[in-house]
Amino acid sequence: MFLRFKKKKPSLSKETKTAEKLIGTLLSLRVVRFALILIIFITLAPFILFLIFKPTPAKQINYGVTFSKKYAQNLGLDWRDTYIKILDDLRARNIRLVAYWDDSEPNPDDYRFDDIKWQLDEAQKRNAYVIMTIGRKVPRYPECFEPSWWKQIGSKERKDLELYEYIKNATLELKGYDVIKMWQIENEPFFPFGECPAIERSTVKKEIEIVRDLDKRPILVQDSGEGGFWYPSYILGDYLAISMYRKIWYDFWNVFLGNFIYFKYPLAHWTYKIKAHMLGVPPSKIIVTELQAEPWGPGINSSITKEEKEKTMSRSDFIATINYAQKTGFKDLYLWGAEWWLYEKEKNGNSFYWDTARALFN
């Protein structure tokens, strides 16, 4: 007969002492202490930055729109009628206009600025505030609107010279309009989006120098609000323009092997101001020129279904996005999609977006 003795369990106090000793040994290691401090800093940093740079809504917000003749046409609208309704029915008084190079110089040295001059004439009659955009990469997909003859030039040096000549002539032709308050040179020139070859920084810098030599009004350079580095664009001009998107349909530069996905940016409204301070851009020098106010789906908005549109821009999304932008603290907000609001109203009998925007502008 064997007697079985139960093994005596260590006391709780002994286990506690062992754990304390182990923790003490770990904390005595420099790398562990550094890692612990780093984790605490990363965890607390957003709260600290929020307390320091917490944005407050601007006392007076200047609402505006970007108008694109080409986009209105692509939606099947009369672009002149659309523009007048934006000015007179919406009563938008802050307008970003675009001089498309392929329209303005369809053949070498054959300059035709009639359409953009008509837009400026109408804006001037109403004492509007115009941001005038020129360049080869300008608003609306596919982003680049170079003349076909320019694309066929083989020499980069000659291509640059032709671009500079266009910039010079566009500035000379349009600078007589007092309604132009600011020039925008190119659109997100350093952000890889759209069907565009890369634009070198030296090229954009030269374009800006040409405009500065001919006119003294401020210059705006645009970057992506979500993915851009901001400061390199800002220091080229006087103001920084940014986009502000919430829900998109995108493949993120083929990261998903060409599979497009619906995506919502996980950014709180206060992150934009914190980013501005961290990157050295004064928030007072930032203008939101593309505040998402239309769907971003798998096709032009006149061709996709109501269900597809509402995945990125439902009625509640429209209101929520405007409220979100108001809380960022920026005082200049240009909504993106006025042509689509009119399309929805006149083609689909859905006047919600147009009427809501009209109340905002009035």
Backbone phi, psi, residue 62, to 5°: -95, 105
Quick check: 235 and 183 in contact, CB under 8 A? no
Backbone phi, psi, residue 181, to 5°: -105, -15
Over the stretch 176-187, which tens digit does the pLDDT of each residue have?
Answer: 999 999 999 999
Quick check: 165 and 129 in contact, CB under 8 A? no
Backbone phi, psi, residue 53, to 5°: -110, 20
Q: Which one is predicted more confidently, 300 or 257?
A: 300
What's the rounded Cα separation, in Å, for the pair 168 and 209? 10
- Compute the residue count for the chain: 362
Q: In the structure, what pLDDT confidence band is assigned to residue 304 with cuts at 50, 70 and 90?
A: very high
Render 312-332 in DSSP notation, one character per residue.
T--HHHHHHHHHHHHHT--SE
- Residue 46 is predicted with a pLDDT of 57
- Residue 71 is predicted with a pLDDT of 98
Which domains, and CATH codes, for the chain? 60-361 (3.20.20.80)
What's the rounded Cα separation, in Å, for the pair 9 and 6? 9
Over the stretch 171-222, which tens digit does the pLDDT of each residue have?
Answer: 999 999 999 999 999 999 999 988 887 799 999 999 999 999 999 999 999 9
pTM of the model: 0.86
What's the rounded Cα separation, in Å, for the pair 361 and 64? 8
What the block records as the tokens of 32 is 């562990």
Helix pair angle (315-327, 352-361), 10° resolution:
20
Hunting for tokens 């079985």 — which residue is that? 4
- Distance from CA of residue 134 to its chain's centroid? 17
Q: List residues bridging with 183 in a β-sheet.
A: 132, 219
User: Helix (H) and strand (E) counts for the chain?
Assistant: 15, 10
Q: Measure Cα distances from 167 to 139, 145, 159, 172, 177 in Å.
A: 16, 14, 12, 9, 16
- Residue 198 is predicted with a pLDDT of 78
What's the rounded Cα separation, in Å, for the pair 97 and 77? 17
What the block records as the tokens of 97 is 């206009």
- Residue 170 is predicted with a pLDDT of 98
Mean pLDDT, rounded, for 103-108: 98
Instruction: Name residues whose C-beta falls within 8 Å of residue 337's C-beta, 6 or more positions apart in sequence.
Output: 292, 293, 294, 301, 313, 353
Instruction: Please say if the pLDDT value at position 301 is more than 70.
Output: yes
Residue type, 181: K
HSE at residue 305, side-chain half, CA atoms within 13 A, is 3
Quick check: 294 and 342 in contact, CB under 8 A? no
Over the stretch 10-52, which tens digit does the pLDDT of each residue have?
Answer: 555 666 666 666 666 655 656 555 565 566 555 655 555 555 5
